[in-house]
Amino acid sequence: MTQTNFESKNVVPSSIAQVGIITKYTLLDYVRSRRFFIMLTITALISVLLTVLVGYYRPAGFLTSELGFYSSWWGTSVTFVIILSGIFFGGDAISGEFQNKTGYFGVPNPIRRSSIYIGKWIAAFIASIAILGVFTAVTLGNGLYYFSGVPSQFGESLLFALLYLVAVLGFTFFFSSLFKSSSMSILLTAILFLFVFTLIQQLVAGLVQIEPWFILTYGSQIIGNVLTSPYPPNITTASLRPGGGGPTLTTYNATIPEGLAIMGIYFVITAVVGLILFERKEFN
């Protein structure tokens, strides 16, 4: 939709075009910023560390099978890279507009707040994709060095990882919209993803013994699980005593449809609520 003002000589671009403008300049800001290089360095360090460790120690878990390699390398590390990217690029994306006062430069223009929100989200997504791309390239490089091919499950896992990135960024943007303080939004997002979600997941599964289907990190298990053969069962109950009997431990693994649904629903809900919060938030 293109709107014009009867007094204006210029035709204000459509909201979709304005999303593109915000994406372009936010991405430029991200790419030039210190945080992009810090994130790139962290990703490079993880990659180098894995390369050296596997090359030097040649652990059996990594090198006995092609699928085992990708499960051990990619399946255990990629969610960490995704969470860090989400925190680095989404943690203060919206709260920074208030705390740093950059919102006073962009918002009082003929542009919807939703265009700013979506444009910044897409920029964060592209920046994260670049980081994820580096990690994927190193994973594939090592995988092809040790094995001749790439298992088809890796493609699935990569797609699930992208969906997880979408959900993580939806969540971090939502949290960023909740606060006006950048440090608060970054810190709380980091604590939630790195500790709280995992803790709740373990408590709910281990003590309450119900499936933690409402935790995002539980849904993200499918990224690693799809690289195991056979795919782990949804619910496993094992006795804690040798030979059976006595107390039991139930472990849960999200099925692929469950994982997709959890990540999809998290994204939709947090994106909508985050957008509404930003629309209503005031620059006081």
> CB-wise, 12 or 42, nearer to other proteins?
12
If binding is defined by CB under 8 A, does position 4 make contact with other proteins? yes
Report, in Å, the least distance between residue 2 CB and other proteins: 9
**Residue appearing with tokens 């030097």:** 56
> Of the listed pieces 6-14, 87-95, 136-144, 206-214, which binds other proteins according to CB under 8 A?
6-14
Q: Which of 55, 59, 61, 110 binds other proteins (CB under 8 A)?
A: 110
Report, in Å, the least distance between residue 186 CB and other proteins: 17
> CB-wise, 109 or 148, nearer to other proteins?
109
> Roughly what angle, to the nearest 10 degrees, separates helices 34-57 and 66-90?
160
CA-to-CA separations, 224 to 54, 87, 184, 208, 232, in angstroms, rounded: 18, 21, 31, 25, 10
3-state SS assignment for residue 147: coil
> CB-wise, 19 or 215, nearer to other proteins?
19
> CB-wise, 41 or 239, nearer to other proteins?
41
Q: Which of 16, 28, 199, 203 binds other proteins (CB under 8 A)?
A: 28
Q: Which of 16, 55, 58, 100 binds other proteins (CB under 8 A)?
A: 100
CA-to-CA separations, 30 to 34, 84, 98, 131, 139, in angstroms, rounded: 8, 15, 18, 12, 25
If binding is defined by CB under 8 A, does position 25 make contact with other proteins? yes
Nearest C-alpha neighbor of 91 from the set 69, 122, 121: 121
Say if CB 67 and CB 229 are below 8 A apart. Answer: yes
Element containing residue 249 per DSSP (H, E): strand 248-252
Q: Which residues contact 57 (CB under 8 A, 6 or more apart)?
A: none
If binding is defined by CB under 8 A, does position 12 make contact with other proteins? yes
Residue 118, Cβ density class (10 Å: 0-12 exposed, 13-18 middle, ≥19 buried): buried
Q: Which amino acid is at 47?
A: S
Q: Which of 40, 107, 134, 269 binds other proteins (CB under 8 A)?
A: 107
> Of the listed pieces 74-82, 96-104, 198-206, 239-247, which binds other proteins according to CB under 8 A?
96-104
Q: Which of 50, 81, 84, 111 binds other proteins (CB under 8 A)?
A: 111
**Residue appearing with tokens 């960024």:** 169
> Of the listed pieces 5-13, 201-209, 211-219, 245-253, which binds other proteins according to CB under 8 A?
5-13
> Within 10 Å of residue 280's Cβ, how many Cβ atoms?
9
Q: What whole-number distance in Å separates Cα of residue 172 and Cα of residue 185?
A: 8
Binding mask 242-281 for other proteins (x = CB under 8 A): --------------------------------------x-
Q: What whole-number distance in Å separates Cα of residue 38 and Cα of residue 27?
A: 16
If binding is defined by CB under 8 A, does position 183 make contact with other proteins? no
Size of the site for other proteins (CB under 8 A): 40
Stated length of the chain: 284
If binding is defined by CB under 8 A, does position 33 make contact with other proteins? yes
What does the binding site for other proteins look like in residue numbers (CB under 8 A)?
3-13, 15, 18, 21-22, 24-26, 28-29, 32-33, 100-113, 280, 282-284
